Each structure stands twice: as structure tokens, then as C-alpha cells.
Structure 1
Amino acid sequence: MESDAAVLAWLHDSDPALRWKVERDLLDAPAARWEETRARVAREGFGAQLLARQDPDGQWAGGAHFPADFRGDEPQPWTATSWSLMSLREWGVDATALRPDTAGLLERNARWEYEDLPFWDGEVDACINAFTLANGAWLGAEVTGIRDWFVTHRLPDGGWNCEWVEGSTRSSFHSTLNSVIGILDDERRTGGAPALHDARRAAEEYLLERRLLYRLSTGEEHPWADHLGYPFRWRYSALRALDHFRAASRHDGTAPDPRLADAIERVRATRDPDGTWHQAYPPQGREWFPVDVPAGEPSRWLTFFALRVLRWWDEA
């Protein structure tokens, strides 16, 4: 691609799930235009395909976090309820496009694979609870218990770790990023809770102290820092973390933190000569259908997220 204009045109020539974001965040289109495109997500392309997979009981693939036929002899599948809700929410689908009273259907029919716990109560995994908090806020479910869980289960160093139940006392980049993303989504949709807001800001400080890239104890680079792959799902990367800090900055009305500079330059340096970012580590495992390209090819999704983050930083 020969110019930024060509890259933007390429990004815009995409599924409505991405196109409306390009229109809003990169092309500065009028609200009426990108809102019309966003409304199309439920009627065509990725959104319509995934909505059509919802079961009459409100679930996808018959399970909460794993499909009903999962036997543990394959990589994590991405077809079950938690992941499907996450995709639809992130693509901008309106909650009314799902089956009527999906929140109630899941309350009655969905149970976590861990100890058969009720769906909207969450479970012991911070990442799963973060996804469920955000999904519940989107669907209007009662998730007060999950809000309280995050406040009481934050670790002494500031963040969270999905392995706390096995004795871990140190926060994880992955778990902490997933948690602050879910908490922020809840805040934006419902107003959140003061104690949870404070927990989010403290956990963000955990990541900022490490400049999104480094272990505080040794200064070594986190092995997942350059893990450019879409869909993000649960995985940490500097790009995904920067996208969260952009959203948090806009929500909180704060300027970009200077400690993000190293991560910003890392993202800038990974841009390919044609102006795009390529898919490096697509997640393995069953999915309903592919939403991005194979490894090695230019990724519209990664290019969009990178350009949006860099624009926010450069224009601050």
C-alpha cells in the first residue's frame, strides 16, 4: 500500500464489525454514518453469523466457557457462550439483537464448568469474571457479586492472577489486563462502583510501573509483549494494553501517561513497510468462523488498533 489513504481505504473495506470503528475513530465520520454502519453488524457479516448460532436456551455451543462436547484433548475452543458474548459485545452489537431476555435465559440455563456455579455469579478465574462482568453490564444482568469479587481478590502488588486459587500471590499481566478491561467496560455502561474504580486505577498502576513491557523484579521483557494476534481474547500484548489505556484515558479525562512511551514505540516499530501490521500469532482452537487472516498476512484488525492507539498518542 502506497499511502496512509490507501491503508484507510483498505481498512474501511471490511466487515461492518470493524468498519464502523474505522469510520468513528480514524475517519472522523459523522455519528449518523458510523451508527448506521454499527446497526448493520447485527444484520450482516460476522455479527449476524454469530447471532444465528445462539441456542434457544440462550447459550452458544451448549456451554458457558467450553462447548458441551469439549473433552480436554484439544486447544481451548472459542465457540461457547462466554467467548461468543464477548465477540458480539466488542463488535458493537446492541443487546436487543440477541434472543429476548438472554440475561434471564443464561441465569436459568448456563452454569460454569467450575463447580457448576451460576453464570452471572462468576467463578474463581479473574479473566472469566472480567468477561462476565462486561457481558453482564451489556445485557443488564445482575453482576454486583462479581464487582465485589474484584475488590476483595486484588493481590497485594496491585493486580489479579487467575491462579490465585492455586496459591499464586503475584499478579499476572494477562489476568490484570483482562480485569481492568472488563471493569472499565462495566464503568462505561453502568457507572460502576467507587471501590471498583479505585481497584482498576491501582491495577493500571501495576501495569504502568512495568511500562507494559517489563518484569519489575528483573527488568526482563514480558514474553508476550509483542504477541500480535487477533482476536485478542484473553492474551496480553502491549498493543492490547495500550488500547485499554487509550479507552481509560478518554473515560477518565486524563492525558496519556508518559510511561506508555516505550510500548508506543514498540508498536510503531512493528509496522510493516506497506503501512500495515501483520498477523503473527492467531489463536489456535475451534471457532465458529474466521474473523481475521492467517499468520503472516496483513491484518485489518491489528492495523486498526495500532493506528487508533498511535493517533491518540500523537495527537495528545
Structure 2
Amino acid sequence: MQSPKGNWGGDADARNWLCTSYTLLLLKDLGLDPLSEEARKSISLVRGHITWPQQMGGLPYFDGETEPCVNGWILGVGAYFGQASDRLVDRLLGEQLEDGGWNCDAPQSRRSSFHSTICVLEGLFEYEKAKGETAAVTEARVRAHEYLLERRMFRSLSTGEVIDPNWTRFSFPTTWHYDVLRGLDYLRSAGIEPDERVTEAVRLVAEKQDQNGKWTLENAHPDRVHFDMEGVEGEPSRWNTLRALRVLDWYSKRDK
């Protein structure tokens, strides 16, 4: 489905960069071998043909644009497919907010967004896997982990209330959207030792398992990913089931 110009979405789509990013994210999540002929050809087309519009920085695709959530995706897929951008890392580190996260509405907003924060965390983690740990990136990730954990993965720090009920409903692909399962699966993949601050969130995941041992698709997002990965809402979801089982296994092996 990739065009000779490197993008997905077609010329009629005014937001080709978004379709391209979602598609690359999906290929990464599916585990496409970055050294395979298909991956090398595809990434070469992206690298050789796609640049951001001037109002979004005008840089090559893998050097990112202006929003930290998008730049988190770009950093992650770039690192996974051998195109890690040090320039992009420096930008994201400089944009981390005082409370430990990121927000695409900064600097107007000084309060972090769960959506932006999880996207950046996933990108920084892929970068460290590809390039090795650095003190600056590791410190930024630890601060962002605390941002999520202090809020029990989905609760307001000031009131204790659930910030957004949609975060308790799980979907795949997640694109830019945060939810509890995505946050927990990130912590699992990053090797974070679970503590009591994730207990409620893990319990929420466990309670959603149906009588057949599966998890359903609950909150399908309308973002364009070109083909359906799952069925319809309410039906069993392979990807939610896989990620939920990984999270429960991770939590069960914690130090008690």
C-alpha cells in the first residue's frame, strides 16, 4: 500500500504524514524484521522522499516535526528501523515539563498529557534499545514513569478521580491514544518493577477477562490505519488479549 513517494494514504489525503506515521507504528508493533528486504525498501522510500512542511519544521521525516506526541512515534519507528535521530532526542528532552511528562499544547499548557507522555516514552525506550542507555534519556524516562505511577496510571493527582473513563477501555491500534493497558504494557516492556501504584490498574485489566479467557475490543479509534486489525467493538481482540496476558504475567512475577 506504500506509494513510490514513500507515504501511505494517497495523494488525496491532506495528512499523509499522519497516515504514514500510523502505518510505520503498526509495522513496528507487528514486529516486522527491520533488516528484511521489505523493511529496508520501505524505510528507504520514507527517508528519501518525505520531508515535513516548512510550518512543521521542514526537516527530513525521521528528524521529526513540532509536536512531542508525533515526535515520540517518529523517534520510536526511526530507532526500530535503524534511523534513530539524536536531533529529535535532544528536542524531546528539552520539551519535558516540570511534572515529568510532555504535552503537545506546551508551552501554553504546563501540565503534562498522558497521551503525549506515553508516545514520547515509547520513542525514548526504542532509542535506548537501539543506541544504548544514556544518562539524560534514562533520567527523562524515570521522571516520566513517576508521572504515570504517581497518578496510579489513570487518576488525577489532586482529586484521585479517574481522569478519563475512556482510558479504562482498551483498543488496538492505539495510535496517539493513551489507555491503562497501553501504559502498563509499556512499563512491562521497559522492565519496570511493578509496585503497589499499578495494583489497581492491573486489577482493572484482570477483571476484563471474559469467560473464555479473552479480552474484547472496547474503544476502536477512528484514526486511519488502512485495514482493520480486529473485528468490531465487543468482539474478542487478539491484541488486547496478548497485551493483557503479558501485563498479568509481568505483575505476577513482581518481588513480593
Q: Distance in 2 between matches of 1:246 and 1:142?
A: 22
Q: Provide Cα deviations, 1:270-304, integer angstroms capped at 9, x if missing partner.
A: 22222211111111144321111101111111111
Structure 1 alignment gaps of length 5 or more: 1-52, 63-67
CA contact (8 A) 2:75 2:84 kept: no
| Partner-residue secondary structure (3-state), 2:190 | helix
Residue aligning to 2:38: 98
Matched, 1:312 2:255: no
- The verdict on how the C-alpha distance between 1:149 and 1:282 changes in structure 2, with shifts beyond 3 A counting, is same
CA contact (8 A) 2:32 2:39 kept: no
Matched, 1:87 2:1: no
**TM-score relative to the length of structure 1:** 0.73
CA contact (8 A) 1:114 1:123 kept: no
| Partner-residue secondary structure (3-state), 2:220 | coil
CA contact (8 A) 2:8 2:20 kept: yes
Matched, 1:60 2:8: yes
Deviation at 1:206, TM superposition (A): 0.4
Residue aligning to 2:86: 144
Residue aligning to 1:70: 13
Residue aligning to 2:199: 261
What does residue range 31-46 of structure 1 map to in structure 2 within 5 Å? Answer: none
Matched, 1:219 2:160: yes
Q: Distance in 1 between matches of 2:247 and 2:40?
A: 36
Deviation at 1:160, TM superposition (A): 0.2
Letter in 1 for 2:78: G
CA contact (8 A) 1:79 1:288 kept: no
Matched, 1:155 2:97: yes
Q: Distance in 1 between matches of 2:51 and 2:21?
A: 11
**TM-score relative to the length of structure 2:** 0.89
CA contact (8 A) 1:102 1:139 kept: no
Deviation at 1:192, TM superposition (A): 4.3
Q: Distance in 1 between matches of 2:132 and 2:208?
A: 36
Q: Distance in 2 between matches of 1:170 and 1:222?
A: 13
Q: Tell me which stretches of 4 or more aligned residues in structure 1 moved more than 6 Å.
A: none
CA contact (8 A) 2:172 2:217 kept: yes
Letter in 1 for 2:19: A
Q: Distance in 2 between matches of 1:259 and 1:69?
A: 46
- The verdict on how the C-alpha distance between 1:287 and 1:147 changes in structure 2, with shifts beyond 3 A counting, is closer
* Structure whose CA Rg is larger: 1
Q: Distance in 1 between matches of 2:230 and 2:54?
A: 31
Letter in 2 for 1:144: D
Q: Distance in 2 between matches of 1:93 and 1:205?
A: 31
CA contact (8 A) 1:58 1:99 kept: no
Of the three residues 181, 197, 201, the one matched with 1:239 is: 181
Q: Distance in 2 between matches of 1:97 and 1:234?
A: 28
Residue aligning to 1:194: 135
Instruction: Tell me how large the CA RMSD over aligned residues is.
Output: 2.1
CA contact (8 A) 1:277 1:303 kept: yes
- The verdict on how the C-alpha distance between 1:110 and 1:271 changes in structure 2, with shifts beyond 3 A counting, is same
Q: Distance in 2 between matches of 1:130 and 1:82?
A: 10
Deviation at 1:197, TM superposition (A): 1.4
Q: Distance in 1 between matches of 2:187 and 2:33?
A: 24
Q: Distance in 2 between matches of 1:113 and 1:192?
A: 32
| Partner-residue secondary structure (3-state), 2:21 | helix
Letter in 2 for 1:84: T
Deviation at 1:162, TM superposition (A): 1.1
Q: Distance in 2 between matches of 1:78 and 1:124?
A: 13
Count of residues in correspondence between the two structures: 250
Letter in 2 for 1:298: P
Q: Distance in 2 between matches of 1:290 and 1:164?
A: 33
CA contact (8 A) 1:103 1:139 kept: yes
Q: Provide Cα deviations, 1:160-180, integer angstroms capped at 9, x if missing partner.
A: 001115x11100111111111
Structure 2 alignment gaps of length 5 or more: none
